[in-house]
Every structure is written in structure tokens, then in C-alpha cells.
Amino acid sequence: MTAASPPVQASRAGGPAVAPASHHVGFGHLMLAEWTKIRSVRSTIWTLLLFVVITVGLTVLLTWLTAANWHGPRAAPRDATIVGDPIGFILGAGVGLGQLTICVLGALLFTTEYSSGVIRASLLAVPKRIPMLAAKAVVFALLLVVLAEIVSFGSFFVGSAIIHSHVPVSLSDPNVTRAVVGAGLYLTVLGLFALAVGTLIRHTAGAITTVIGIVLVLPILSGLLPGNWGAHINAYLPEQAGSLIYAAHKSSDQLLSAWQGFGVFCLWTAVLLVAGGYLLRHRDA
Amino acid sequence: MIEARDLTKRYGDKLAVDHLSFRVEASRVTGFLGPNGAGKSTTMRLVLGLDRPQSGMATINGQRYADLSQPLRTVGALLEARAMHSGRSAYNHLLFLAQTQGLPRSRVDDVLELVGLREVARKRTGGYSLGMGQRVGIAVAMLGDPQVLLLDEPVNGLDPEGILWIRNLMKHLASEGRTVFVSSHLMNEMAVTADHLIVIGRGRLIADCSTQEFIARSSERSVLVRSPDVDRLAGLITAEGGQATAEARSDEDRADGQAAGLIVTGLEAPRIGEIAAADRIVLHELSPQRASLEEAYMELTADSSEYGVHSPGAIPGPAETAVVAEPTVSTTQESAR
């Protein structure tokens, strides 16, 4: 024990009296508590920082490499693709990898409650359980939407400036503003998607593996499915549907529009959150 | 007041709590005793709504835990397992809990002061010792100034000063009219703290009575007599209706020239003294033997110990068993005296 000796006087046991529990404790109190939880652990701060650095950094790196190599040997088909959807290229460059940090953070947000044992303290404080999950999801979504929009607009301005001499792209171009705003929304919903998986699986490694498997591996596997039904399955996968929102132009064989795709992604997330909430309520903590 | 009615909890095919019913009254410290694996922690988790029972229910002041609107203001709990993020400071851990109940920040400082952790509260709890972790747990339990306290093995990892502090704290809280329910597998700790005991083994209720009654009920009183003339004395005691058995003596005792002893039951010490005096038998020692609470407890739970040592001959005695089971606490208690 390095701490100072505690007061043994019995008279101090209860401490000063606490105000009577007359006032109502609302959802705002729970949100404040969840915000305290998020900001008071270094790993979340570091992961968010990593998200910003990776996303903006990769946007700069990839657009710069592309601009430097414009009209280069064997670059013609790539250049043509970029001219067809410059905003999709700029945003995809950073979001492609940056989204993995959001997957990890979302999964960790709930699984660390279990691995550290905080879940017991949390559930003793909010024994109805669902309000705690709801507060966590809302606070996390608010945090992400602010940060992801800043990162998305930042990536766009930096990336479009670098590539401007080859492909000029501005927010006034058709669908560009929707795509830039959409990238931030996609990352926000992705965070909630990962949070929901974490609520369902509870183990950090399992949850992260599952989310990354769904986001990165599943589209590749379903892309190998043959025929029309294979294409349909692929189109309705969470990441495939959700990522349509940050590409400006429809490819000719696209089954869903950008907003339809985003809606499908939101639906996936909502279903998983409800399932996670159900299990949280009924499982032993 | 805490009330459990017919609580049953099964994990897979293992019955952890088996139709357990009891009441924990206010204004006294109620000890919750049982060997390791008896179901104490499970019972507390059921009362606190962390686990769901297969049948039965538990209420606190007449309400289920899950129905309490600001639970930490009614019930304070210290669980055995660590419930803190190692990367978060004690202050922030208490702060977020206070925020869930709409309690002011000043209350966090108050409870940190109470447990003597104010100086280190801003440090991450990963670097805390076991004892400091327990103190944070106590601070959490006291955060909402609750009327009911459930403490699972609170003295675990505390130093002698800390053990004394928590004993006094529990007694004081009970004297203020609060309900204090404290679990332990250490009988001696409960003997000095608890007014009332609830003893369980293998998830079933074994005893629910006052501490004094518990000792009296489960231990037979005996008297140790030493005399150079034990054979004659033994005959007289038997004639008076007592039972006398020769005390086991080591060679060392014999070498020291110590007189042979008798363990007498069925007669009180004054009567044995009178018998000896009447026949002019010299006594070297006449001492009533009171079974310790630890012995009474071992005797009572002998059949229900989940992981216990089943042949008593294999181990020296009950007191030593406790030392083996919990070296830290027992040795610190020794040095406290």
C-alpha cells in the first residue's frame, strides 16, 4: 500500500450526505458517462488519432503518387477510371484503410468492457442495460460523425488539390458533395456496425476478426459467386452496399443507388444492434 | 433489507445456487460464509441482477435490483472480480459511475478521501496494488451513499491497517441503520465483524443465525485438565458422569516434564476442580476449551466443501487450513495482533 492511510474514524464513514434522489436521471446523464468512458482511456484516443493520420495520409500519398505517374507507362486504364469517378478515387484512397481503425475502435468499445470487467460496474449502474448500450451508441456516433466528416472533407480538399491539374473536381460537381458527406456517414455507421458485432461477440479478437472479415474478405469471396444471384448477394453485403455512398458515379451494372446502398448498410447495422441489445439484456454479465 | 427467495442458479450442469432463501436485516453486519465454490459470489450476482436465476427471486428493500431507478443510491456493491479498466484512472472510473446516477463530481472526491486514495486517484488503475484496487471498489460501493451494501470478500489483499479500517467501517455503517452483507471464506474475520451469519455450502443454506449462536450450536465445550495423577482423576470424572479422554502428547512434551492431560466433556471446569480438591489431587492446569469459530465452521461445512481436503488426517488442523487457503490475509492478520 503506497496510499496514504485511510481515515479510520467511523464518523467519516458515510461522508457528507448525498442530495436526495428526487430528480430524474435522464439519458443525458448516461451519455455524459459514456463520453467519460471514451475519453478517459488512451487506446480510444490513439485509435482515433491513427484513423485521422491513416486516412488523410493515405489520401495524400496515393493521389500524389497517381498525379506524379499520370500518363506514365501502363497507366492509361487507371487514368481513365479516375477520370470516370475522381471523387470515388480520392475518398477510396484513404477510407479503404482508414476504415479498419474504425472497425477496431467500434469493436473495442464494447469488448473492453468485458475484458476489463467494467461491464459489471456499468450494469450495476444501469441495470436495465439497454439504455447503457443506446447511450454508448449515440455518443460514439456523434463523436464519429464529427471526426469522420472533418477527415472526409479534409481528405477531399487535400486530394483534389493534388490531382487538380489532371482531373479537376469540386464540391459543385454532381454527386461530389453527397459523396464527401457520405464518406463521413459511412464511417460513422461502420463504427456502429463494429460496436454491434462487439456487443454480440464480446471477445476482442473474435469481434475484430469478424468485423474485418465482413468488411474486407466477404466482398472478395462473394465476388467469386457465379451468375445473377451471386451479384445480388454481393450488392447487399454491408460494406459493398454502404461504400456506394462515397463514389460519385454509378457504374453501369450497379444494382443499388448510393442512398439505397447506404440504407441497406444502415439496416444491417440496426439489425445487429437490436440483436446485440437483446443478448445484452438476456445474457449473464 | 435483502431478501432471497428460493434462488436457484445452474451453469451448464453445475448447480451453483440450490433453492436458497434468506433475509439480510438492516442495522447489523451479516456475514455470508461458505467454502470456496459454495455459491457466495453467484448469490451476490443474482441479488445484483448481473446473472439471472433459473428460479426464485431476490429483492432489495422490496424491489428487484433491475427496477431501482438510481441503483447506486440504494445499493453499493463490491464484487470479488476486478471491475475496472486498467488504463482508466480511479477518478474517471468513479466519475462515469457518478454521472450515471446524476451525482455531483464533489461526491467522487468525497469517496476518494474516504478510502484514502485522493493522491493517486488520477493515476491509471493498472498500476494499483491489490489493496488499492479493493479501496477503489469500496469507494465505488460508497459512491451513492447507499442504504444497502453488498461486499464480496472485501478484506482480500488489504494490509492489517486496511482490514481494521474496513471492519470499523462496516460496523459503523450497520450502526447507522444500513444493511451490510459481507461475504468471506475466513471464519475468524467474520467472528470479529459479523453480528449475524448466513452459512452456505454447495449452494444450499447450512445456517442462518447469530454469530454467538453459531459457535455455541456447532461446538462442544470441553475442559483440559493436567495432573500428575490423571488415572485416578479420570476414574473420578467418569464416576461423576463426565467423559475423559487422554490428551495426545508429543515426546517433546514428555521430555519437558509436562504432566499428562485429560480432555473432559460433560463437566464444567469448577466441578472438575471441586472433584480434584475433594480427593486431594494436584492439578497443574484446568482450562476450559472453547472451540474457535474456525473449527465450528470447518465442522459444519466439512461435507459441503466443493474443493476441500477430505481427509482431516492429511492436514494439521483447521487453523492451518485457513493459512494454506489464504496466506496473504492470514499472515497479515497475525502481524496485526
DSSP conformation letters of B94-159 = HHHHHHHTT--HHHHHHHHHHTT-TTTTTSBGGG--HHHHHHHHHHHHHTT--SEEEEESTTTT--
Q: Do residue B194 and residue B166 come from a single domain?
A: yes
Compute the 3-state secondary structure of chain B and give helix, strand, coil in percent, each to the nearest 5. 40, 25, 35
Chain B residues within 8 A of A119 when measuring between CB atoms: 83
Q: Do residue B163 and residue B191 come from a single domain?
A: yes
What CATH number is given to the structural domain containing B149?
3.40.50.300
Q: Do residue B107 and residue B242 come from a single domain?
A: no
When the pLDDT of each residue in chain A is averaged and rounded to a whole number, the result is: 90
Q: Do residue B212 and residue B225 come from a single domain?
A: no
CB B114 within 8 A of CB B43: no
What pLDDT shows up at residue B274? 92
Residue ending a domain, choose from B167, B200, B217 = B217
Q: Do residue B155 and residue B15 come from a single domain?
A: yes
Q: Do residue B280 and residue B165 come from a single domain?
A: no
Residue ending a domain, choose from B166, B197, B217 = B217
Q: Phi then psi for B6, rounded to 5 degrees?
A: 55, 35
Give the span between the Cα atoms of B80 and B133, in whole angstroms: 11
Taking the Cβ of residue B139 and every Cβ of chain A, the question of whether any pair is shorter than 8 Å is answered with no
In a domain, B326, yes or no: no
Q: Do residue B258 and residue B156 come from a single domain?
A: no
In a domain, B324, yes or no: no
**Number of neighbouring beta carbons within 10 Å of residue B16:** 26
pTM greater than 0.95: no
What pLDDT shows up at residue B315? 40
Give the span between the Cα atoms of B22 and B33, in whole angstroms: 13
Looking at the partner chain, which of B71, B104, B132 has a beta carbon nearest the beta carbon of A125? B71
Q: Which three cell numbers stand for residue B192?
A: 470479529
Contact A13 B114 (CB under 8 A): yes
In a domain, B335, yes or no: no
What pLDDT shows up at residue B189? 86
What CATH number is given to the structural domain containing B273?
3.30.70
Cα dihedral sign, A156-A159-A165-A166: negative
Contact B100 A10 (CB under 8 A): no
Residue ending a domain, choose from B271, B289, B307 = B289
In a domain, B327, yes or no: no
Query: In the 8-state DSSP scheme, what is residue B29?
Result: E
Give the span between the Cα atoms of B91 and B94, in whole angstroms: 5
**Number of neighbouring beta carbons within 10 Å of residue B9:** 23
Give the span between the Cα atoms of B110 and A277, in whole angstroms: 35
Q: Do residue B76 and residue B210 come from a single domain?
A: yes
Nearest C-alpha of chain B: how many angstroms from A136?
Answer: 12
Nearest C-alpha of chain A: how many angstroms from B166?
Answer: 8
| Nearest chain A residue to B116, by CA | A6
Nearest C-alpha of chain B: how many angstroms from A40?
Answer: 6
Contact B51 A284 (CB under 8 A): yes
Looking at the partner chain, which of A12, A32, A40 has a beta carbon nearest the beta carbon of B92? A40
Q: Which three cell numbers stand for residue A117?
A: 470487467
Contact B52 A30 (CB under 8 A): no
Nearest C-alpha of chain A: how many angstroms from B209?
Answer: 26
Give the span between the Cα atoms of A191 and A109, in whole angstroms: 10
Selected residue with higher pLDDT from B147 and A74: B147
Q: Do residue B111 and residue B246 come from a single domain?
A: no
Domain ranges, residue B225: 221-289
Looking at the partner chain, which of A12, A40, A112 has a beta carbon nearest the beta carbon of B89? A40
Q: Which three cell numbers stand for residue B224?
A: 483440559
Contact B50 A123 (CB under 8 A): yes
CB A245 within 8 A of CB A261: yes
CB B179 within 8 A of CB B147: yes
Q: Is the pLDDT of residue A196 over 70?
A: yes
| Nearest chain A residue to B165, by CA | A8
Chain B residues within 8 A of A118 when measuring between CB atoms: 83-85, 88, 93
What pLDDT shows up at residue A282? 95
| pLDDT, tens digit (0-9, with 9 covering 90-100), for A225-282 | 888 888 899 999 999 999 999 987 767 678 899 999 999 999 999 999 999 999 999 9
Question: In whole angstroms, how far apart are CA A107 and each of A47, A89, A190, A205, A262?
Answer: 12, 27, 10, 9, 21
- Pairing, β B222-226 against β B261-265: antiparallel
Chain B residues within 8 A of A47 when measuring between CB atoms: none
| Nearest chain B residue to A31, by CA | B100
Give Cβ neighbours of residue B127 (< 8 Å, ≥ 6 apart).
none
* DSSP helix/strand/coil, B88: coil
Reported confidence tier of residue A103, pLDDT bands at 50, 70, 90: very high
Give Cβ neighbours of residue A194 (< 8 Å, ≥ 6 apart).
A102, A103, A104, A105, A106, A107, A109, A207, A211
What pLDDT shows up at residue B314? 39
Give the span between the Cα atoms of B81 and A118, in whole angstroms: 10
In a domain, B332, yes or no: no
Taking the Cβ of residue B163 and every Cβ of chain A, the question of whether any pair is shorter than 8 Å is answered with no
In a domain, B300, yes or no: no
What pLDDT shows up at residue A5? 43
What pLDDT shows up at residue A227? 85
Contact B120 A23 (CB under 8 A): no
Contact A284 B102 (CB under 8 A): no
Q: Do residue B200 and residue B230 come from a single domain?
A: no
**Model ipTM value:** 0.89
Looking at the partner chain, which of A11, A33, A40 has a beta carbon nearest the beta carbon of B88? A40
Looking at the partner chain, which of B92, B102, B110 has a beta carbon nearest the beta carbon of A29? B102
What pLDDT shows up at residue B18? 95
Give the span between the Cα atoms of B154 and B167, in whole angstroms: 9
Q: Do residue B20 and residue B52 come from a single domain?
A: yes
Contact A36 B162 (CB under 8 A): no
**Number of neighbouring beta carbons within 10 Å of residue B6:** 13
Long-range contacts of B315-321 (CB under 8 A, 24+ apart): B318/B292, B318/B294, B319/B292, B319/B294
In a domain, B319, yes or no: no
Residue A25: closest CA among A163, A128, A161: A128
Q: From first to last of the 337 residues of chain B, give the pLDDT tens digit.
A: 999 999 999 999 899 999 999 999 999 999 999 888 899 999 999 999 999 999 999 999 999 999 998 999 999 999 977 889 999 999 999 999 999 999 999 999 999 999 999 999 999 999 999 889 999 999 999 999 999 999 999 998 889 999 999 999 999 999 999 999 999 988 888 888 999 999 998 899 989 999 888 877 666 678 889 999 888 999 999 998 888 888 877 777 777 777 888 888 888 889 999 999 999 999 999 988 876 667 777 777 776 665 544 444 434 434 333 333 333 333 333 333 3
Chain A residues within 8 A of B110 when measuring between CB atoms: 15-16
Residue B183: closest CA among B86, B50, B40, B51: B40
Specify the number of domains making up chain B. Answer: 2
Interfacial B residues in 271-290 facing A (CB < 8 Å)? none
* DSSP helix/strand/coil, A194: helix
Q: Summarize the confidence of residues A98-102 as an average pLDDT.
A: 96
* A–B interface: beta-carbon pairs under 8 A: 161
Chain B residues within 8 A of A46 when measuring between CB atoms: none
Q: What is the CA radius of gyration of chain B?
A: 24
Give Cβ neighbours of residue A134 (< 8 Å, ≥ 6 apart).
A27, A30, A277
State the Cα torsion B57-B59-B62-B63 to the nearest 10°. -90
Match 479498466 to its residue by C-alpha cell.
Answer: B85
In a domain, B117, yes or no: yes
Contact B114 A18 (CB under 8 A): no
| pLDDT, tens digit (0-9, with 9 covering 90-100), for A107-141 | 999 999 999 999 999 999 999 999 999 999 999 99
Looking at the partner chain, which of A15, A43, A285 has a beta carbon nearest the beta carbon of B50? A285
Q: Do residue B94 and residue B25 come from a single domain?
A: yes
Contact A33 B97 (CB under 8 A): yes
Give the span between the Cα atoms of A104 and A212, in whole angstroms: 8
**Number of neighbouring beta carbons within 10 Å of residue B231:** 11
What pLDDT shows up at residue B197? 94
| Nearest chain A residue to B121, by CA | A3
